[in-house]
Every structure is written in structure tokens, then in C-alpha cells.
Chain A
Amino acid sequence: MTVTPSNSSALSEEVKLDTPLEIAGKMFTSRFLLGTGKFKNKTDLAQSIEASKTEIVTVALRRIDLERHDENILEYIPKNVTLLVNTSGARNAKEAVRIARLAKEAGYGNWVKIEVINDSKYLLPDNQETVKAAEVLAVEGFVVLPYMYPDLYAARALAQAGAAAVMPLGSLIGSNRGLKVKEFIQILIDEIDLPIVVDAGLGAPSHAAEAMEMGADAVLVNTAVATAGNPALIARAFAMAVQAGRLAYLGRDRSRPVPAMTADPSSPLTGFLYDQSR
């Protein structure tokens, strides 16, 4: 499979070395998903989308504010970018299903990030309710990408329910703490036959690179970009880190675990300038 880069920049050239990311039959050149919350202004958002070359962005659904005029966020998202509507605010499966159905009615596609959270301190996803919502929404024809705690049984249940991808958290939402549950994400990467998109907690481009190096198919970042001093620059840095991590994963020596538990010399251990027989 070949990918035609959208422009001739170095970032796009690298993509030729890779196959596209496929989710629900749709091909993506970029493996970097961007959340649109918390941006100081819409200009920062638009510039970050452009700088990141992202092809999937998340949005949320809320009651409109009757007291003031809100800008329409969709005006700042290019038409060729896939909209992934999250069900944030849902505390159980039923509420998530309601939000997803409302979102579909808007006419911007049927991609939904199931997010069921019933804990305001840690904002941890409720895997059980997430599975229930996935079962209903997949049957209704939604492209379901569930945000979840990296648990193998839950991931299997989500795959069984018809999820198009699985999105395990790296650490707590907005915490910028990186891959705190790395070994359990690795199990999902190794065992689940769906794209694994690491979502939440990735606070630095190096975290994103780490997730990709271990074999994640993509990452989703919001807070670390939106709250950066220069969001567009950080968005670009994340996109480059995602590609670097991806190439590192593709180019790895599959026979040798990384990191190894013993040393392996970089220089030959023969032909020294002294007599080795002594």
C-alpha cells in the first residue's frame, strides 16, 4: 500500500516508509489525533490543526449558552479532517448512547469516541459502561472508538462489541504524566487485533514517541498542545515525535527485546591494539 504525501515537506516524505493507519476502512496518513478542548482561542486551534497535519480531531457536545453568542468550532476545522465526537459528560452507557445519537443528527458523520466517566477526581473511564455503550452504538452503525482503562478483558469485550479501535489512557486526563500504565498498554498492542490509540496523559512529544515505539498505532493529545506556550509549535513537535516513534517501531530488530537486560557492544570486541592472549 502506498501513501501519497499531501505536500513535499520532510514530515510527509517520511510517511512513504509507512503504511496508512486504517480505522473502519478509512485510511489516514497521520497517526496523530488532536483534541480541540482548552485552546485559549480559535486561532491557536486552527494553527495547531494545520501544524500537526492531523486528520482526526475530537470535539464535544454541549448545551448551547442562551446568554451569549458562541463561535461555531466547526468553522475552524478543515473539511477533510474527520470529526470524532466524544461523549464527555456521560456518566453511564445510556447517557453516552444519547450523546452519540444527538451528535450523529448534526450530520457530521458517525464517528464517536465513547467516554464514560463517573468519577470527578480521577476522571477514570468506566470500562463496564463503556462496553455496554459500544455494544449498542456499534449495532446502530456508529464507528466506535472507546476511551478505556487498559484492561485486556475490557479491550476484548470492546473488540467483540464491534469497536473500530481501542483507546487506552496513558495516565490521568490532563495530567501530562506520560505512560504510567505502559506495560498494560503493551498487552493490548500485543493481543488486540484493532488499532490501539493511546489517549490521555501524554504531556510531551517524548511520551508520544514512546507510545509509538512500543507499537501503538496512533496517539491522541489535547491538553499538552492546547495549554502550551505556543500550541502550533508543540502540535508540530508531537506530530514529528509520533512519526519518529513509528519509524523506530517499524525499523526495530524484532528478535531482540528492547531494552535488553545485558550489554551488547557497539564496537567490535576483536582486533584490539594490544595482545588479547595475555
Chain B
Amino acid sequence: MHITLNGQKKEILPSQNLREVVGRFSQNSSVLIAEVNGAIVKKNQWDEIRVNDGDTIELVSFIGGG
């Protein structure tokens, strides 16, 4: 099944939770915030959120800025 992760199409195995998907695709320990289909998902809920076919996921973190 496919998801859109930070604007890119990605193939994932079925029955994965958000934490597993983040761990699979992100090399960043500093991932702080996730949005699934436009809704913010708190980090303590990442284990409970099942990722579904067609989901749009955004992973964001802080960078330098003025």
C-alpha cells in the first residue's frame, strides 16, 4: 500500500503504526511533530495510530530561521 510522506509517494507494509513508519523513513532523531491527513498526532499516540492506504503524512521539525 502507498502513502504520501512529506510530498513523496512511499510504499509501506500493511498494519503499521505511525511510529513504525516514521522509523522506517526518517533518519532524524529530531522529528518532533507529525500530521496525518491534516490532523496533528501527539507523539504519545504514535503507537496507536494505524497508517492506512492513501494517508498523507507530514513530519516536521525545527530548523534555523529568522
Q: Mark A residues whose CB is within 8 Å of B.
A: 35-39, 45, 58-74, 85-86, 88, 101-103, 105-108, 173, 200, 220, 222-223, 226
List, in ascending order, chain B residues with CB within 8 A of A105's CB: 32-33, 40, 42
Q: Contact partner of A73 among B26, B58, B62, CB < 8 A?
A: B62
From 15 to 47 in chain B, residues with beta carbon under 8 angstroms from any chain A beta carbon are 25-33, 35, 40, 42
List, in ascending order, chain B residues with CB within 8 A of A107's CB: 32
Tally chain B residues at the interface, Cβ within 8 Å. Answer: 25
Q: Mark B residues whose CB is within 8 Å of A.
A: 5-8, 25-33, 35, 40, 42, 58-66
List, in ascending order, chain B residues with CB within 8 A of A63's CB: 6-7, 58-60
List, in ascending order, chain A residues with CB within 8 A of B59's CB: 63-64
List, in ascending order, chain A residues with CB within 8 A of B35's CB: 102
B35 nearest CB neighbor, chain A only: A102
A200 to B8, CA, bound (A): 34
Q: Contact partner of A61 among B7, B26, B29, B60, CB < 8 A?
A: B60
**30 A-B pairs in the complex with CB atoms less than 8 angstroms apart:** A35-B64, A36-B66, A37-B63, A37-B64, A37-B65, A38-B64, A58-B66, A59-B62, A60-B64, A62-B61, A63-B7, A63-B60, A64-B28, A64-B30, A64-B31, A64-B59, A65-B28, A66-B25, A69-B28, A70-B28, A70-B61, A72-B30, A72-B61, A73-B62, A86-B65, A88-B66, A102-B60, A103-B33, A106-B32, A106-B33
List, in ascending order, chain A residues with CB within 8 A of B62's CB: 59-61, 72-74, 85, 103, 106, 108
